[in-house]
A and B are shown apart, each in its own frame.
Chain A
Amino acid sequence: MRRALSALGALFALLLAGCGGGGGDSLVVFGASSLEGAVSEYAESFPGADVKTSFAGSDQLVAQIRQGAAPDLFASADTGYPAQLHREGLVGKPRVFAANQLVIAVPAGSEISSLADLAEPGVDVVVGDPSVPVGAYTRTVLGRLPATERRAILANVRSEEPEVSSVVAKLEQGAADAGFVYATDAESAGEKVRTVAIPRRLQPDVAYAAAVVAGAEDPAQAERFLDGLIHGKGAADLRRAGFLPPP
């Protein structure tokens, strides 16, 4: 019994040791859901630090930071959230590091071929929640449409998803007929989905900004990570995933 107890104690200590804040050379990056593929790849090869990443809707990451979460770098799918956090003194000055395009994704084999098709009755459309950047961009596009078409499309919205990856998942499952996602997400979804372009005059300006979080353990390291996203290995990974250079 005594031996079992001490073994349990040792195990407990071992597990606990893994729960600490990590050593000095670890870097925690909060990234928008759409950045997952490219930034994970960059993070794995980043020299000098063990990079831990957490991907979610940018708005969720903002809420976490406001509630006291302390990553070293925050990379958002828009420029608005980092600017807000900067004004609140929670992050340093944001820098734009990539751009993207909004597209309509449809399951492979779908007959939808234009934005106007989404206004047809019975088309199940999935969008992002208004607070997540992809949802905000979607509403920008819809806001540029004639009122009747906008209302018809909004009436077809079946779900407001918390992040772009769950919009893509709903399409891959064949649950929805169309969804508004980033071009990069549609690309990484592969053959299960096809994209329908959104006309240039309706395109929102999709720009990604990142900022070093106030109180980062090693701000210089975080800046180096961000530098690499702007021009370096990270930028190359972003381009390969289909992200555009910052405007």
Chain B
Amino acid sequence: MRRGSWFAALAVLAAVVALAFLLVPVLAVFANVGPGELLEALGEVEAREALWLSLRTTLLALAIVVAVGTPAAYLIASREFRGRALVLTAIELPLVMPPAVAGIALLAAFGPRGILGPAISGAGIELVFQTAGVVVALVFVSAPFFLRQAIASFAAIDGRQLEAARTLGAGPFRAFVTVALPSARTGLASGLALAWGWALGEFGATLLFAGSLQGVTQTAPLAIFADFSRPDGFVSALALSAVLILVSAALLLGVKLLGGERALEGAQRP
């Protein structure tokens, strides 16, 4: 046996094991629930309301993330300043924060007894137990996915292009819209898809910060959790899980087709 061939065999084995381990649970969801059962379970009011609420809250959260995150990312990407690494770390922190910690942190900040709680209720805004609270939780956990990708994409733009636009008389806003946005669009789109996927799956922060009530704060992941512990709820839990898996798979595939991998590599660049 040639030296190294055993390693190649080992690597193939490792790849097969890894793939099987990751795929089996996903496939098991579909193996456990037939198409008929799936449709029937999805026809229940609770499931429908949960999916509809998930759709509304995630889209609203994404709109906020994009509206605020795009210019913010552009600024951070195009300026050199002291403490940049710290800013980037702060932006990425929610990525690695356990969801329960995110929920506690949101309560400590925006909850009725949180440091900003009195100001928020003083302004007549209610977040806890409200759909708005779900959106706040989703923005908090999903924004870093978009911001990270957007910063990397803007940073990868050739500075000379922007300079050329400026010498041709374009103001900063015009240069941003006509040069920066089109060049970064694939990166922005894949960041958006990842943020959406993450927002759809958010559980802990929503439950701790916004609570769980059908039609108001009970998003699909919360409904799955509630279903799991109900008598005969396992099938509904599987059906909702199947929908979330399909949507997430579509989003990931979208990222791949958009060339999001290139943009992800861009994230590594300084």
A residues contacting B by CB (< 8 A) are: 57, 59-60, 62-63, 66-67, 124, 126, 129-132, 157-162, 166, 169-170, 173-176
Question: Is B194 engaged at the interface, CB distance under 8 Å to the other chain?
Answer: no
* 16 sampled A-B residue pairs with Cβ under 8 A: A59-B230, A62-B229, A63-B233, A131-B229, A158-B211, A160-B214, A160-B226, A161-B211, A161-B212, A162-B225, A162-B226, A162-B229, A170-B211, A173-B107, A173-B128, A175-B128
Within 8 A of A (CB), among B211-230: 211-214, 216-218, 225-226, 228-230
0/1 interface trace, chain B 85-113, chain A, CB 8 Å (1 if under)? 00000000000000000000001000111
Evaluate whether A174 and B229 lie within 8 angstroms (CB atoms) in the complex, with A129-B212, A158-B213, A159-B212 already known. Answer: no
Whether A175 contacts B129 by the Cβ 8 Å rule is yes
Evaluate whether A59 and B111 lie within 8 angstroms (CB atoms) in the complex, with A158-B213, A159-B211, A161-B211 already known. Answer: no
Q: List A contacts of B230 (CB < 8 A).
A: 59, 130-131
With A160-B226, A175-B111 already in contact, 14 other A-B pairs whose C-beta atoms are closer than 8 Å: A66-B234, A131-B229, A131-B231, A158-B216, A159-B211, A159-B212, A159-B213, A160-B213, A162-B212, A162-B225, A173-B107, A173-B111, A173-B112, A176-B129
A157-B229 Cα distance, complex, nearest whole Å: 20
A126-B217 Cα distance, complex, nearest whole Å: 13
Whether A59 contacts B113 by the Cβ 8 Å rule is no
Query: Which residue, B111, B207, B229, has most C-beta atoms of chain A within 10 A?
Result: B229
Q: List A contacts of B217 (CB < 8 A).
A: 159
A124-B111 Cα distance, complex, nearest whole Å: 14
0/1 interface trace, chain B 102-142, chain A, CB 8 Å (1 if under)? 00000100011100010000000000110000000000000
Within 8 A of A (CB), among B197-215: 207-208, 210-214
Evaluate whether A160 and B212 lie within 8 angstroms (CB atoms) in the complex, with A60-B228, A124-B129, A131-B229 already known. Answer: yes
Q: List A contacts of B207 (CB < 8 A).
A: 162, 166
A108-B128 Cα distance, complex, nearest whole Å: 19
| Nearest residue, chain A, Cβ from B128 | A175
Q: List B contacts of A175 (CB < 8 A).
A: 107, 111-112, 128-129, 211
Evaluate whether A174 and B113 lie within 8 angstroms (CB atoms) in the complex, with A131-B229, A162-B226 already known. Answer: yes
